[in-house]
Amino acid sequence: MTTIGLPNISTQISEQTASAVCEGLMSRPKWLPSWLFYDAAGSRLFEEITELPEYYLTRTERSILTEHAREIIDLAAGNNTLRLVELGAGSADKTRLLLSAAVARQDTIVYEPVDVSPSALEDARQRIEREIPGVVVTPRVLDYTRGFQLDAVTPGERRLVMYIGSSIGNFDPEEAEDILADVCDALAPGDSILLGVDLVKDRTALLAAYDDAAGVTAAFNRNMLVRINRELGADFNPEAFAHRAVWNRFRLRIEMHLGNQMPQTVKIPSLDMRLEFAAGETIHTENSYKYQPGQAEAMLSEVGFTPTATWTDEKGWFAVVLARVS
Ligand code: AVI
């Protein structure tokens, strides 16, 4: 975070937000990166999304993990002691399932959540140490999308990296492969990854999950403009933009867009920008890729893992894949 000396904006301006907004909104078509969703309000809205009846992803993955946590931990550990690494600061109850299964097996476990947000990590540390006795939380503040390293473990210890929640789906296939390759490089032979991916399915179910009846996903999408107004002093009218979820059947992804409804000019004085929006022009805010059965396993094999097991739900809507570093 750097302070840019602007008399009309009292808050600090994040250089990262400024350059992302500048780059995305100067492009044709306009776009904004999906990490901009997650300010405090956006993170709360996302938590609400995970509980919506239409958003099947969280509860389906949770049901798979509930049923198979013990087996996952046993397979990943073998005859060793396990450490759990999580990319993201701990998606509460799903993480808890695996940590509890690990504690039942080995009494104590080191849990290393990896996240860019020190406050999210501190919240996770307090919550998890309070709720699951036997877990020692060692947070790592870093942006795992830019590569990372892990300290060596002691002999007889193995790591299991959890990358669940379909988070990988928010990256293009090339970026996803780079992230998995970096994880593989940071691990030692015998360590594993647990990857949660959302599978291709009937478009009606997919579209409903990203355009719920209560309008929570619409608020989540528009919150990006609220954030830009607050952080950069822009004058977007978020309500003038319609939430759109589109199934791209060629690229197998749900796209979220904000559709401008009538011609308007938006000013962002802190960036010295004046943007013209035509009626019907959209800002592309997110891709959420859906995987074909076997595709995640192929991607993991490509970067150096050996897939060990895949679990799915009755409908075949979501898959959890365990793969080992060979
Ligand atoms: C965080 N991520 C996996 C969510 C998804 O399903 O792609 C973000 C989200 N976007 C709209 N609803 C939820």
Instruction: Dump pLDDT digits (tens) for 128-178.
Output: 999 999 999 999 999 999 988 899 999 999 999 999 999 999 999 999 999
The atom number, within ligand 1, closest to the CA of 50 reads 13
Q: Ligand 1 centroid to 38 CA: how many Å? A: 11
Pocket flag, ligand 1, residue 236 (CB < 6 Å): no
CA distance 229 to 232: 6
- Tell me the pLDDT tens digit for each residue of 18-51: 999 999 999 999 999 999 999 999 999 999 999 9
Q: How much of the chain, in percent, has pLDDT values that exceed 70? A: 95
pLDDT band at residue 4 under the 50/70/90 scheme: very low
Phi, psi of 180, deg, nearest 5: -65, -35
Q: Ligand 1 centroid to 288 CA: how many Å? A: 7
Question: Whole-prediction pTM value?
Answer: 0.94
Question: Looking at per-residue confidence, does 239 or 93 come out higher?
Answer: 239
Q: Ligand 1 centroid to 2 CA: how many Å? A: 29
Give the strand pairing for 282-289 and 157-163. Answer: unpaired
Question: What Rg, from alpha-carbon coordinates, does the chain have?
Answer: 21
Q: Ligand 1 centroid to 166 CA: how many Å? A: 8
pLDDT band at residue 5 under the 50/70/90 scheme: very low
pLDDT of residue 117: 84
pLDDT band at residue 1 under the 50/70/90 scheme: very low
> Ligand 1: which residue has its CA nearest to atom 11?
210
> Ligand 1: which residue has its CA nearest to atom 5?
288
Pocket flag, ligand 1, residue 50 (CB < 6 Å): no
Q: Ligand 1 centroid to 326 CA: how many Å? A: 31
CA distance 274 to 79: 62
Neighbouring-strand partners of residue 270 = none
- Tell me the pLDDT tens digit for each residue of 107-132: 999 999 998 888 888 888 998 999 99
pLDDT of residue 10: 36
Pocket flag, ligand 1, residue 264 (CB < 6 Å): no
Sequence-ordered strand ranges (E) for 117-228:
135-137, 140-141, 157-163, 192-198
pLDDT of residue 12: 59
- Tell me the pLDDT tens digit for each residue of 248-266: 999 999 999 999 999 999 9
Pocket flag, ligand 1, residue 166 (CB < 6 Å): yes
pLDDT of residue 168: 98
Instruction: Name the residue of 46, 168, 206, 252 whose CB sits within 8 Å of the most ligand 1 atoms, as the mutation to test its pocket.
Output: 46
| Residue tagged 């949660």 (tokens) | 196
